[in-house]
Amino acid sequence: MEHVLLTLLFTGLCLGDPAQEAQRQSLPDSAAQKEAEKLVHDIFKDDYARKTPGDKADLARKLLSQTEQPGNSLAIRYVLFREAQDLAVQAGDAALATKVVDTMARSFQVNAVALKLSALQAMAKLARPPEDAKPSAIRFLGLADEAMASDDYDVAGKAAEAAIQLARKSKELALVSKSEAKDKEVSSRKAAFERVAKARDTLTKNPDDPQANQIVGYHLCAAKGDWKSGLPLLAKGDEPNLRTLATDDLSMPDDPAVRVGLGDRWWELGEKSTDPARQNLRKRAGFWYAKMADSATGLSKAKIQKRLAELGQDKFGPKHLWVPLNDPRQFGINKEIGEPIELSAKEGMAVGASLKSPPGEIDAIAARIRFKPGVRAHAGISLEEKDKLLYISYNAKSVMFSHMVGKQWEVDVEKPCGEREEYNLCIVVAEGEYILYLDGEEVGRYKTRLARVTEAGLQASHGPAVFDQIRVRKKE
């Protein structure tokens, strides 16, 4: 019966234009929303009657999955998103509520950070055990960062204030200090953004004003990472060193030494800065280093590789939280500290190396994996006593996440990744999910009830692979 009703739901109302569906749409009018809401509640009547938090979360996931059904009207899609968000909030599932908002924001013109703030505030008011104060505070801190990234300082300020209150409730002094520091950062960056707004006004009247070009150009490059828009402005700015550096960068030189030099200059500037400027300036250095990664030699190559590896870590939290695992004996392999770990499996077979002594609780693990050119092999990071595996299928040119069912592997995530001899994998545990990364870019997620990395290791199958730059992240 439900199948028939779903067919009516997704084909009975006006169809959305496929070309428009690929763009962010305006919100449907209230009358269309009301009609769609009545139909959704009627079709999922039995699901709405179930009242436990788990039931509400299950229904939220069901509604979210229906948003991508072909033939949906815009009104129905929006109501499905809206209802899914409300249900996730009622279930107290912050990760699910965030996922719903992020998905909705790809289709509709909504203020994602404001919706997340509303959701987190509503969940903070629910009857929650005291131990929930710390993870709630951490979520608000993350939202403050996200809001600042979109220049929504009203939301950022409210999120930071909420984090302070929850941190105090958690009675963790380090978290209180971090939350208060975030509140000060919001105030500082808000003031800086207001200066940028004034400089933008100046540029509308005088596009060649050196000081305004400097302020806006540096904001675009260092705060936003928008180098295409920011560099031409920096090249017209009133700070001589930055003006020269931007001009040299815009020339897009071919000379290897000049390219490495540009990378070095941006890197040094980043080292003197604080985030987010530090990250974005170092990323620009990485842009130039990456052009030389294959052709550099000697100490220059070693420096470039080291700094590119650091950039891979930047995306996953402060450097001091990462612990290098450079002793193969931590994986039960009798080799000297600093030597890479080599695993080689026969065709149709697999070999592994389990991490013996992780340093306290960890919530992320990363490693670089290298293959022999043209030699078939699979290799990756294993979790949960080798029942979960994020790996590279070198011959199939794909990255996959799989879990063991009986004696068979079931693939949950698969993305093409090209055929190279070197890959960087990272797994982060956050908000009830394994978040999977390839070369610093997210490739998928997988639900977990764990709050930390457990039973981690390395694995190779069907052939040889080399592992190095292995590291884990300590939980804050």
DSSP structure string for 4-67: HHHHHHHHSSPPPPHHHHTSPBPPPPHHHHHHHHHHHHHHTHHHHT--SHHHHHHHHHHHHHHT
Distance CA 175, CA 177 (A): 5
Residue 131 lies in a domain: no
Residue 150 lies in a domain: no
Which pLDDT does position 359 carry in this prediction? 61
CB distance 216 to 233 below 8 Å: yes
Predicted TM-score (pTM) above 0.85: no
Half-sphere exposure of 181 (CA within 13 A, CB side): 6
Range of the domain at 85: 1-110
CB distance 9 to 43 below 8 Å: yes
Residue 141 lies in a domain: no
First-to-last C-alpha distance (Å) of the chain: 49
Which pLDDT does position 143 carry in this prediction? 94
- Residue 476, amino acid: E
Distance CA 355, CA 343 (A): 14
Residue 89 lies in a domain: yes
Domain end, chosen from 110, 145, 178, is at 110
Residue 474 pairs in a beta bridge with 362
Which of these, 6, 42, 34, 28, lies nearest to 73 by C-alpha position?
28
Q: Mark 388-397 as b/e (b = at least 16 C-beta within 10 Å).
A: bbbbbbbeee
Residue 412 lies in a domain: yes
CB distance 363 to 452 below 8 Å: yes
Sequence-distant (6+) residues with CB within 8 A of 143 are 113, 116, 117, 120, 155, 156, 159
Which pLDDT does position 13 carry in this prediction? 35
Place of tokens 């950062």: 185
Which pLDDT does position 203 carry in this prediction? 97
Distance CA 195, CA 182 (A): 20
Distance CA 329, CA 416 (A): 33
Query: Which H or E element spans position 447?
Result: strand 441-447
Residue 358 maps to which CATH number?
A: 2.60.120.560
Q: Taking the CB of residue 108, how many other CB atoms lie within 10 A of it?
A: 19
* The total number of structural domains that make up the chain: 2
pLDDT, one tens digit for every residue, the chain (476 residues): 333 333 333 333 333 333 333 478 899 999 999 999 999 999 999 999 999 999 999 999 999 999 988 888 999 999 999 999 999 999 998 888 988 998 899 899 999 999 999 999 999 888 677 788 888 998 899 899 999 988 999 999 999 999 999 999 999 998 999 999 999 999 999 999 999 999 999 999 999 999 999 999 999 999 989 999 999 999 999 999 999 999 999 999 999 999 999 999 999 999 999 888 998 999 999 999 988 877 888 888 888 888 887 776 666 766 778 888 989 999 999 999 889 999 999 988 999 999 986 667 899 999 999 998 888 899 999 998 889 999 998 877 889 999 988 888 888 898 888 777 888 899 999 878 899 988 877 888 898 888 889 889 999 999 999 999 899 998 76
Place of tokens 């078939």: 376
Which of these, 171, 469, 218, 199, lies nearest to 341 by C-alpha position?
469
Domain end, chosen from 78, 110, 142, is at 110
Distance CA 115, CA 117 (A): 5
Half-sphere exposure of 164 (CA within 13 A, CB side): 13
CB distance 53 to 90 below 8 Å: yes
Which pLDDT does position 312 carry in this prediction? 67
Residue 293 lies in a domain: no
Residue 169 lies in a domain: no
Domain end, chosen from 69, 84, 110, is at 110
Q: How far is CA 217 from its chain centroid?
A: 26
Ranges of H-type helices in 219-327: 227-234, 240-250, 256-271, 277-292, 298-314
Residue 38 lies in a domain: yes
Which of these, 71, 136, 146, 69, lies nearest to 105 by C-alpha position?
146
- Residue 399, amino acid: V
Which pLDDT does position 173 carry in this prediction? 93
- Separation in Å, CA 194 to CA 52, 154, 219, 220, 372: 46, 13, 11, 14, 53
